[in-house]
Structure 1
Amino acid sequence: MTSARSTSEPESLPRAAFAAVDLGATSGRVMLALLSGAAGHERVDLVEVARFANGPFVTPESDTARLRWDVRRIWHEVVDGLRIACVAASERGLVLSGIGIDSWAVDYGLIGADGELLEDPRCYRDSALAGTSTEVLDRLGASGHYRANGLQTQPFNTEFQLVAGRDDEVWPAAASIRLIPDLLASWLTGRVVTEVTNASTTGLIDVSTRKWSDAVIDGLERGYPSLGDLRSRLADLVEPGSVVGHLTNSVRRSTGLGRVPVITVGSHDTASAVVAIPADDDRFAYVSSGTWSLVGVELEVPVLSEASRRANFTNELGVDGTVRYLKNVTGLWVLSETLRSWREAGRDISLAKALVLAADATADRTVVDVDGPEFLPPGDMASRIAAAARATSQPIPVSPGEVVRCILDSLAASYRRALGEVRELSGKEFDVVHIVGGGSQNALLCQLTADAIGVPVLAGPAEGAALGNVLVQARAVGAVHGNLAALRAVAHRSSNPITYVPTGTSHRLRADDRTTASSEERSHGWHRKDPSGSR
């Protein structure tokens, strides 16, 4: 059992149940959510009823090895998880009141006119995407493009994937483009929609209007005639909290469920995680920490300045008309890949052991730019770290403790740079940083982050995406009421965030950390403060 709060048993009997399908790039899970408590005192307990490994597979195509997702296997795992959730809810005298799906962003499936999946969806880490973003932005004009979609340039943004695949054999037969959560929702209900928070990562959305962008789509169609009619392949946009439809008869037979509604949530997992931030006011920043780390603040309007574009910040859409102004930086991917590579080499070091070794290693001995492109593909991260250290004339990490400490110190430095830029570019002040997601359980990283930034870090909930997913569902069916602040109050009652206060240890910026110079820190008040007066 995974609980959104610290106790394993709810204090009162649950009155409603929901299923949250939460898909990550390395694992997927189906969570049964139990809502209890009277109005104004609600809380959620999460029970993990199914978990399965996830990850791209390599398939040889021509002379290029490509990474793809086995989305059919994911589908079968989801259906099986919903079957188990049905049983688990029934054992508690409940039926599911809703199902919501969140996942990683940008990737999509192509569906033919007959409704069949044409090929396994491409994975965003596919090396075949390299170079496409530069070509597209040169052709469309980077500044005007950013003013329309406000999106950080990443080589794997959906629009660049579409351009890279425009000459693929299956493209002419594609009648529908469906992002991963929308694809699964369409298989559950038979209805096709596009949820807007995830759609905002495609590059095809006008971030100011929350609609499909005429400027971007027309520009792509003109610039790449072989794309054909791109617009006709895009489904209608819907906001979080919309009912997509109810389970098909086939899914009902497979799961034992009844006429359960499938509800759009913040289907980009970070959008759901931000809903679940247990903040008591709006003076916060966040790090949604998992395979990736998304570092930013919540705003009412996008930041579309040229300075923001040059800093490569993104304006992604959030729940209730909000904007997630953030930078998508490397997360625990580097650490997980390091441990995986060691296992394959016969050096089986657990995460717990690695963190103990890292805590004993010298602080800030080596800090590298883990956001560099060399850390994007799978592979031997320890060797890449050594190469980066050598290139910057720093000590080369050799022991497991040194390697892992380098990764964590480098992540904390990356968070510091990103948050310094957030504060400057958005003008948003914050007194605390919330870390949500799996990385909130990494106590060493949380402490290093607090030390690096100089403000308290509140860690948790670990299952932030699933909890936010459920909160939007519960409000959609009337089980809870209110705005984002009210939902976050439920999140606070449902979790027990741990506070990490800055210590006297200062994270030393390297000479190449030019984006956050010491003078800039002083001008923006990045000084150590008494934690007792920080909130």
Structure 2
Amino acid sequence: MEYIAIDIGASSGRLIRAHFKGLGGFELEELHRFKNGFENKGGTDYWNFNHLVNEILKGLEKVKQAGITECYVGIDTWGVDYGLLDKAGNLISDPVSYRDSRTQNAIADFAKKMSLETLYEKTGIQLQPFNTVFQLFVEDQAKLAQADKLLLMPDLLGYIFTGNAVTEKTNASTMQLLNLKTRKWDQDILDVVGVSEDLFPTITEPGQILGELQAEKFSDYDLPKAKFITIASHDTASAVVGTPAHGEDWAYISSGTWSLMGVEIPEGISTQKAFDSNFTNEWGVQGTIRFLKNIMGMWLIQEVARMQEYQYSFPELAELASQEEPFQQFVDVNDARFLNPANMIEALQAYCRETNQKVPQTPGELARCVYDNLALCYAVELENLEKITGRKINKLHIVGGGSNNKMLNQLTADVCEIEVEAGPGEATAIGNLMVQIIATHGYGTLEQAREDIRNCVELEAYCPQTSETVSQALTEFKSFINKKQLV
């Protein structure tokens, strides 16, 4: 049987085909790739939803052109963003991007109505200004009054193609509206936000059949017969499924626009230490919890490259960085100023001036600054992860597009003093596909699926190379961050 993963990130999307050959292997082929990004209209950053729909349809046409007349399809995207439908089932407006400035003061304003400690204790979700709870808190009241249903991005796309509306749970957990213990909508939080539980379609498990593609709605396209499955539709949930790990002594970094560092655990952790360290409990497949920390990630280098009008490719920037002196400045990569600055280079430089550090100027210095501080941040959060969970982590899996960055992989191994295994680069799409195959009785468990991933994809190991320079930089970085937090 043929399976198609529709995997859409904040900067690009792709359709990837998997030919499942039974237990023991699968073959992957990328059939379509396209760009994604938000656009500012009238002072608000929106996703171009019709663009996503049209690109998916183009991709499905290529599926048919490849000789695939019948297939299963799953959709994953980033989390927290949503579309509002009116009573007729029409989209009221393009979805607003989580990087829009409308939630800039939302956390502080929300805290006047419910303590942030209570919000965390209820949901186990880390505080991020762009979480759905805060987006809804500042949502246009006229739109909310008109809205009959709210659908997260992958569910919204699934609805457009099948006519069936659901709320897939791995993505729904990122909204900070669901109770960690009851696994239901938390009425106290809904009351603060001012919405009813009726706004949300039924919560569904990953691996459920959503419905058939309504090809008649898209008569301009020559489409295959496709059956959609609600997979682990949050891209990180799919990436964790696609992580070729075994045992319990491992952690992961899903490295893309964001770096998501965490472990897979059976029960959530919403302790004071977890709250203070701003870790999150997102729901995974087969009853698991993704206990993780959001780190700003490759967004930093993506924006540095964009500000240089892409004069250098990412491998070229990594090569330039490798020629620079390491650890010339310390930067809190999760500082709010880096979420969506007008100019990332100027934002990094201003940060260094304000903290009386050497200001990076050249492309190599800027890239070195980003990579050094990502690795240092990873080391700090890995230490927090071990303390909070009580687990000793012996291997760090780096998956996603960022796993192709050999320099950062080795730097991470060195700074974290841990063995790193990099790959697969398409972990999210692979995880998407694995849930489809599990749902249609190809695999029985995650362990079986991950065993096949290890056998079918190319992985690269990085052993830590410790040095006094690295150890001293990490000590100084921790001191810098602690002082900054006390200010």
Q: TM-score range by the shorter chain?
A: over 0.9
> Does the CA-based 8 Å contact 1:86-1:255 persist in structure 2?
no
Report how far residue 497 of structure 1 moved: 1.1
User: Which blocks of at least 5 consecutive residues in structure 1 are unaligned?
Assistant: 1-15, 222-228, 518-535
Partner in structure 1 of residue 485 of structure 2:
none
Partner in structure 2 of residue 147 of structure 1:
121
Measured on the aligned residues, the alpha-carbon RMSD in Å equals 1.7
Hey, what's the Cα distance between the residues in 2 that align with 1:436 and 1:357?
Answer: 23
Hey, what's the Cα distance between the residues in 1 that align with 2:76 and 2:27?
Answer: 18
Deviates more, 1:172-181 or 1:208-217: 208-217
Report how far residue 461 of structure 1 moved: 0.3
Is 2:51 aligned against 1:73?
yes
Paired residues for 1:40-439 under 5 Å? 41=24, 43-60=25-42, 65-88=43-66, 90=67, 94-167=68-141, 169-221=142-194, 229-250=195-216, 253=219, 255-257=221-223, 259-343=225-309, 348-439=311-402
Partner in structure 1 of residue 18 of structure 2:
33
Report how far residue 391 of structure 1 moved: 2.3
> Does the CA-based 8 Å contact 1:79-1:251 persist in structure 2?
no
> Does the CA-based 8 Å contact 1:17-1:96 persist in structure 2?
yes
Report how far residue 193 of structure 1 moved: 0.2
> Does the CA-based 8 Å contact 2:252-2:261 persist in structure 1?
yes
Give CA-to-partner distance per residue, 1:162-219, whole Å, 9 cap, x none: 111143x322111110000000000111000010000011011112233222332234
* 2:35 maps to amino acid: A
* 1:394 maps to amino acid: Q
Deviates more, 1:263-272 or 1:383-392: 383-392
Partner in structure 1 of residue 474 of structure 2:
509
Aligned-partner SS, 1:513: helix
Deviates more, 1:251-260 or 1:173-182: 251-260
> Does the CA-based 8 Å contact 2:10-2:257 persist in structure 1?
yes
Which TM-score applies when normalising by structure 1? 0.86
Percent of pairs with identical residues: 36
Aligned-partner SS, 1:357: helix
Hey, what's the Cα distance between the residues in 2 that align with 1:386 and 1:165?
Answer: 33
1:133/1:250 Cα in 2 relative to 1: closer, same or farther (>3 Å)?
farther
> Does the CA-based 8 Å contact 1:456-1:501 persist in structure 2?
yes
> Does the CA-based 8 Å contact 2:61-2:224 persist in structure 1?
no
* 1:396 maps to amino acid: V
> Does the CA-based 8 Å contact 1:182-1:195 persist in structure 2?
yes
* 2:12 maps to amino acid: S
> Does the CA-based 8 Å contact 2:64-2:224 persist in structure 1?
no
1:254/1:467 Cα in 2 relative to 1: closer, same or farther (>3 Å)?
farther
Which TM-score applies when normalising by structure 2? 0.95
Paired residues for 1:515-526 under 5 Å? none
> Does the CA-based 8 Å contact 2:71-2:226 persist in structure 1?
yes
> Does the CA-based 8 Å contact 2:3-2:19 persist in structure 1?
yes
Hey, what's the Cα distance between the residues in 1 that align with 2:70 and 2:408?
Answer: 37
Give CA-to-partner distance per residue, 1:403-441, whole Å, 9 cap, x none: 101100010011111111111111122210000000000
* 2:403 maps to amino acid: S
Paired residues for 1:454-493 under 5 Å? 454-478=417-441, 480-493=442-455
Report how far residue 335 of structure 1 moved: 0.1
Aligned residues: 479
Hey, what's the Cα distance between the residues in 1 that align with 2:462 and 2:387?
Answer: 24
> Does the CA-based 8 Å contact 1:112-1:175 persist in structure 2?
yes
* 1:457 maps to amino acid: V
Hey, what's the Cα distance between the residues in 2 that align with 1:246 and 1:53?
Answer: 26
Report how far residue 482 of structure 1 moved: 1.9
Report how far residue 137 of structure 1 moved: 2.8
Hey, what's the Cα distance between the residues in 1 that align with 2:283 and 2:98?
Answer: 20
Hey, what's the Cα distance between the residues in 1 that align with 2:224 and 2:427?
Answer: 27
Hey, what's the Cα distance between the residues in 1 that align with 2:228 and 2:185?
Answer: 23
Hey, what's the Cα distance between the residues in 2 that align with 1:86 and 1:148?
Answer: 46
Partner in structure 1 of residue 8 of structure 2:
23
Hey, what's the Cα distance between the residues in 2 that align with 1:371 and 1:511?
Answer: 17
Deviates more, 1:176-185 or 1:206-215: 206-215
Is 2:453 aligned against 1:453?
no
Partner in structure 2 of residue 444 of structure 1:
407
Report how far residue 245 of structure 1 moved: 1.1
Aligned-partner SS, 1:448: helix
Hey, what's the Cα distance between the residues in 2 that align with 1:445 and 1:368?
Answer: 16
Aligned-partner SS, 1:200: helix
Hey, what's the Cα distance between the residues in 2 that align with 1:307 and 1:352?
Answer: 38
> Does the CA-based 8 Å contact 1:97-1:477 persist in structure 2?
no
Deviates more, 1:431-440 or 1:230-239: 230-239
Hey, what's the Cα distance between the residues in 2 that align with 1:220 and 1:165?
Answer: 9
Give CA-to-partner distance per residue, 1:94-132, whole Å, 9 cap, x none: 544310000001000011111111101100000121011
* 1:412 maps to amino acid: A
> Does the CA-based 8 Å contact 2:74-2:230 persist in structure 1?
yes
> Does the CA-based 8 Å contact 2:10-2:36 persist in structure 1?
yes
